[in-house]
Amino acid sequence: MAKVKVYVTLKPTLLDAQGRVVQNALNNLGYEEVDGVRMGKYIEIELKDNGHSVQERVDEMCRKLLANPVIENYRFEVSD
Amino acid sequence: MAKVKVYVTLKPTLLDAQGRVVQNALNNLGYEEVDGVRMGKYIEIELKDNGHSVQERVDEMCRKLLANPVIENYRFEVSD
């Protein structure tokens, strides 16, 4: 059994509209020190052992389904 | 200037409908080893120095806006 944490973020060159909205909301709530917000996804995956390389399989999952490689970066950590 | 990484996850006792959909999609794509998926949010925040305690301010932001404490857990890491 392996546990994988995947982080998906928008590429830095792209405008993060959702992050901008959150930043404005925080500024308006009195948190004027907030200078930038980028929103991403955090995904926890549990995998049964089946002989495949966890690294390879999760990288494939990210490219095929979890992230959009055209506009997003991803990284992941395997534990257990 | 501080950089904060915030992780927001649904409380473990709650059904994660979005995660279930992703799990089914991965299983259908041939990743039968996927045994569980939980979806969360990953938020990067840049803060200017303004004399406030970063820990306290970000904890407040999480409770007020970034997470819903009724159904979500959050944790964050401060760097720089």
Model pLDDT for residues A28-60, shown as the tens digit of each residue: 999 999 999 999 999 999 999 998 899 999 999
Best mutation target among A6, A24, A27, A34 (most B Cβ atoms within 10 Å) is A34
pLDDT at residue A80 in the model:
75
pLDDT for residue B80: 75
Report the share of chain A in percent with pLDDT over 70: 100
Which residue of chain B has the CA closest to A3? Answer: B36
| Chain B closest-CA separation from residue A3 CA (Å) | 9
Find out whether B13 and B72 touch, Cβ atoms under 8 Å.
no
Nearest to A45 by CA among B36, B71, B11, B68: B36
Q: Are B14 and B68 in contact (CB under 8 A)?
A: no
Residue B51's domain spans which residues?
A: 2-79
What is the per-residue pLDDT across B6-51, written as a single tens digit (0 to 9) for each? 999 999 999 999 999 999 999 999 999 999 999 999 999 999 999 8
Residue B7's nearest CA partner among B70, B80, B58 is B58
Q: How many domains would you assign to chain A?
A: 1
- Which CATH number fits the domain that encloses residue A22? 3.30.1280.10
How much of chain A, in percent, has pLDDT values that exceed 90?
94
Cβ contacts from A onto B, under 8 A:
101
Best of B38, B42, B59 to disrupt the A interface (most A CBs within 10 Å) is B42
Cα B53 to chain centroid distance, Å, stands at: 21
Cα distances from B62 to residues A18, A78, B36, B40, in angstroms, run: 16, 27, 26, 14
Interchain pair A9, B44: CB under 8 A: yes
What pLDDT shows up at residue A71? 97
Mean per-residue pLDDT, B66-79: 97
